[in-house]
Chains A and B, each alone.
Chain A
Amino acid sequence: NAGVTQTPKFRVLKTGQSMTLLCAQDMNHEYMYWYRQDPGMGLRLIHYSVGEGTTAKGEVPDGYNVSRLKKQNFLLGLESAAPSQTSVYFCASSYIDSYNEQFFGPGTRLTVL
């Protein structure tokens, strides 16, 4: 039982490049989330999903897209990376009726030059 895993762990991009971050969970959770963490700002919700095939915007969605084609996977895409997207990205998942007791992945550290 791996819990929540994230791929890759580190990545350096140049401005304008694109990439996809992969989140996978093996707990059969309905809900999945993508956050970014920046110094002094806590975690901010980018996008989330309440089930396979559904996605919704969070607090800071601009510049990101997501897809949830399979229940266990939640992908975060950056179509044209900008330096402002340098951050640590965390994926999380939760059960449908857990009042958001969320389980977090180890994070992806992204640097955009």
Chain B
Amino acid sequence: AQSVTQPDIHITVSEGASLELRCNYSYGATPYLFWYVQSPGQGLQLLLKYFSGDTLVQGIKGFEAEFKRSQSSFNLRKPSVHWSDAAEYFCAVVTLHGSGNTGKLIFGQGTTLQVKP
């Protein structure tokens, strides 16, 4: 079965430091991958997505992610973290089923990012 694993439940970084959040997926075909961010008390906002092509994708708020098929990974990175980046981050993969694009998102468990001043 398709699955997404985020190995780190909680990460703390200092403001200005670099960040990498890990995501591993299990999916037989070419995956469609997403990173979402959830600020406290808010809904989810799309940071970036990978469908095909260049394996390094740029997103909003200065985030980027790299798709590595050989490692089944889609890690999220940011060169310099800001205090406003403190939030919960979710990696997700689309699973296609049936006829047409009636895909469903499978989410990882989430990683909570804390930013120290």
Contacts and interface: CB of A to CB of B under 8 A. Distances in A.
Contacts of A42: 4, 90, 107-110
A2 interface: no
Contacts of B105: 33, 43, 45, 100, 102
Looking at chain B's contact residues, the main secondary structure is: strand
B46 A97 contact: no
Interface residues of B, number: 24
Interface in B44-75: 44-46, 49, 51
A96 interface: yes
A105 B43 contact: yes
Interface in B71-96: 90, 94
Interface in B5-42: 9, 32, 34, 36, 41-42
A94 B90 CA distance: 18
Contacts of A33: 104-105
Contact of B43 (A41, A58, A106): A106
A90 interface: yes
Listed from nearest, the 3 A-B pairs whose CB atoms lie closest are A42-B107, A104-B43, A104-B44
